[in-house]
Amino acid sequence: MAKKVVKKIKLQIPAGRATPAPPVGTVLGPAGINLQEFCTRFNDETKDKMGDILPVEIYLYEDRSFDLKLKTPPAGFLLKKAAGITKGTSKSSKETVGSITKAQLREIAEVKAPDLNSYDIESAMKIIEGTAKNMGISIKE
C-alpha cells in the first residue's frame, strides 16, 4: 500500500551545501523531518551540481519518512550565470545589464525543458527569452 503524503515543502538550496541551520532547519524542523538525514541525502544527490541553486520538493509521509524531488535550477539563475552578472535590472524595458548568445539560450532551454510547459526546444527557448528580457539581458545572434 502506498504511503500517504502529509505535507509537501518546497525549498531552494545551494547544491551540496544544505545544513541544519536556517533557512533549512527553520522550515523542516517543525515538520518533523530528521534534519541531519535530509542534509546528508540532499548533499549526496547534488554534489555534482555544486554552486547551483536547486529547487527541491520534499514529500513528508505519515511515518515521518520523506522523499526528495530535485528540480532544475531557476531560469533566472542560469541566465545570470551565462551572462556573467550578479543581478538583473529593475527597469527591463529601458536598461540592458548583459547579453547571451542564441547558443547559450538553447543550452539553458535544454536544461530547463523538463520543468517547463513546452512541447519542443523552440517554445522552451521563447519562455527563457521572455525571462531574459524581463531581467534586462539581451539575446545576440
Which residue spans within the chain are E strands per DSSP?
5-14, 53-61, 66-70, 98-101, 137-140
In this structure, which CATH number among 3.40.50.2000, 3.30.70.1170, 3.30.1550.10, 3.40.50.300 belongs to the domain 5-70? 3.30.1550.10
pTM of full prediction above 0.85:
no
Task: Give the per-residue pLDDT at 96.
Answer: 86
Domain boundaries, the chain: 5-70, 75-140
Q: How far apart are CA 37 and CA 34, in angstroms?
A: 5
3-state helix, strand, coil in the chain (%, to 5): 40, 25, 35
Instruction: Tell me the pLDDT tens digit for each residue of 40-49.
Output: 999 999 888 8
Mean pLDDT of 22-33: 85
> For 75-140, which CATH superfamily applies?
Ribosomal protein L11/L12, C-terminal domain (1.10.10.250)
Instruction: Tell me the pLDDT tens digit for each residue of 82-140.
Output: 988 888 887 767 788 889 999 999 999 999 888 888 889 999 999 999 989 988 898 88
